[in-house]
Chain A
Amino acid sequence: MPSTVRVPTPLRPLVQGRDIVTVQGSTVREVLDDLERQYPGFRQRICDESGEVRRFVNVFLNAEDIVHINGLDSPVSDGDVLSIVPAIAGGGSGRPNPSRPPQTKGN
């Protein structure tokens, strides 16, 4: 059953620049499997070696974080929307390499 994955900007290079991808699968895990089939290398960006979602990424099934449903086993229905939401640090400051250097304030 087709559902939709909303791909955040930083991950779009992995899906040929698309912001939305149509996928098959009846659980979140199956959806990610299908995503990996279509775009090899995608999964490792959001899942760790054990296959669990990385702790700096959140996956939402419609409006709800899958952590509060049934994790990767959360059931996905036809027409559902999966959102991958990574943390974004940017404050529009424009300082180079802001995530590594000193604790600066955002500009």
Chain B
Amino acid sequence: MATTIHDLMARLRADLKEVTPAEVKSMGEADQSLVLIDVRERDEVEQGHIPGAIHIPRGFLELRIENTVPDRKTRIVTYCAGGNRSLLAAESLQRLGYECVASMVGGFTSWRNEGHEFTTPRLLSEGDRRRYLRHLAIPEVGEEGQLKLLDSRVLLVGAGGLGCPAAYYLAAAGVGTLGILDFDVVDETNLQRQILHTVARVGTSKTESARQSLLALNPGIEVVPIEERLTSENVESIFRDFEIIVDGSDNFPTRYLVNDACVLLGKPNVHGSVFRFEGQVTVFHPPHGPCYRCLYPEPTPAELAPSCADAGVLGVLPGVVGLLEAVETVKLILGIGNPLIGRLLQYDALRAEFVELKVRRDPQCPYCGDGTEFPGFVDYEAFCAGTTAAGS
């Protein structure tokens, strides 16, 4: 005679250990290694779950449990909404050799009704889950990482050769708020490398042009166009709203100003620069590494610093360098990998070579040195023109 579900559950209840929510609570307090497995479906978990529980839907339990809990001696409590699926789950785990498995009576419903603590998770919307599916598949990113990206605020200084590719990919990656700081308008000669802009938008402001392209790619993010020249007066108020500054500026006064403001505000400065076939990338983030002034205490005299306009730049080159900046930015947001702090990466496109150099913080640096008080912003034009000793 066929077994009914009623019979099956009765047998499991007789064979398996069951624990009450109150018992689970005290077990968890007494044993930090206790693993709670929430076997409900995603839409149920979205309504709330026990803090610290691992979510493995019942249908995937056998497939995923070994990776999640490799030690068969681990104490496990399964729970579902009402205590039935968790019993089936517990039996499966026992069959797989898990020795200390129990099912929580009454499930999450009882847990909540008894007034125990629970959290309601922030989860990606269905649309975002589809858009960022390839991120979700990477353990280092996952849903939690994608939410960090969506919560993050990154400022791009310059929507030019470096800023365009960096912004494009950061937008694609789902960096939730992208500030675009530029005061220039799109020019025909920009289009050889500044890929956010288009022929139709020649003469339009770069911030507006960038905004249109970025939102066309990803309407789910916020783009903040800041059509201003960066100055000692506005830099703090602009930078304050962002967590990471990506420097794609094109002149020394701005680079020193960006550096000084990042030092003052303690923000990482993702630095990239290009010249013809050559690029440099690093992350300045004292005290974890040097600031720009540790590396270059004095600016290059103008006559020794030809601009891209004068010297030219291979159009693809800032693409490579800008994307290296974007990668570093994403790593910083996610807190993964080994950031380019204290390391300067040089890229020689003609040789197709990367060279890594060690750069160290100068403890005597007037801006980020040990025990240094921020000396204030200077007249960066004069500083870089060599007409003042200010800031040196």
Q: Known A90-B307, A92-B313, A98-B309; judge A107-B250 contact (CB<8 A).
A: yes
Residue numbers in B under 8 Å from A8 (CB-CB): 275, 278
Contact residues in B for A90 (Cβ distance below 8 Å): 161, 250, 273-275, 307-308, 311, 313
A95 touches B307 (CB 8 A): yes
Given A10-B306, A55-B297, A102-B381: A93 and B252 within 8 A (CB)?
no
Interface residue from B257, B302, B355 paired with A6 (Cβ < 8 Å): B355
Contacts of B311 in A (CB 8 A): 9-10, 90
Partner-contacting stretch, out of A27-35, A61-69, A70-78: A61-69
Residue A99, interface by CB 8 Å: yes
Query: B360 near A65 (CB under 8 angstroms)?
Result: yes
Tell me if B146 is interfacial: C-beta within 8 Å of chain A. no
Is B276 at the interface (CB under 8 A from chain A)?
yes
Task: Determine the distance from Cα of A10 to Cα of B301 in the docked complex, in whole angstroms.
Answer: 13
Find out whether the CB atom of A91 lies under 8 angstroms from the CB atom of B305: no
User: Across the interface, do B274 and A91 meet the contact criterion of CB distance under 8 Å?
Assistant: yes
State in angstroms the CA–CA spacing of A68 and B340 once bound together.
19
12 A-B interface contacts by CB (under 8 A): A10-B305, A19-B351, A87-B255, A87-B295, A91-B274, A92-B161, A92-B250, A94-B250, A95-B184, A97-B307, A103-B257, A106-B247
**B385 neighbours in A (Cβ, 8 Å):** 100
Checking B295, B317, B358 against A92 with a beta-carbon cut-off of 8 angstroms, the contacting residue is B317
Contacts A68-B360, A104-B251 known; list 13 others, CB within 8 Å. A63-B356, A64-B357, A88-B275, A92-B161, A93-B160, A95-B309, A97-B309, A98-B308, A100-B302, A105-B182, A105-B229, A106-B157, A107-B184
A45 to chain B, nearest CB (A): 7
Alpha-carbon gap, A57 to B381, bound state (A): 20
Instruction: Say yes or no: A106 contacts B296, CB within 8 Å.
Output: no
Bound Cα distance A65, B236 (Å): 32
Indicate if the CB atoms of A89 and B206 lie closer than 8 Å.
no
What separation, in Å, do the CA atoms of A107 and B296 have in the docked complex? 22
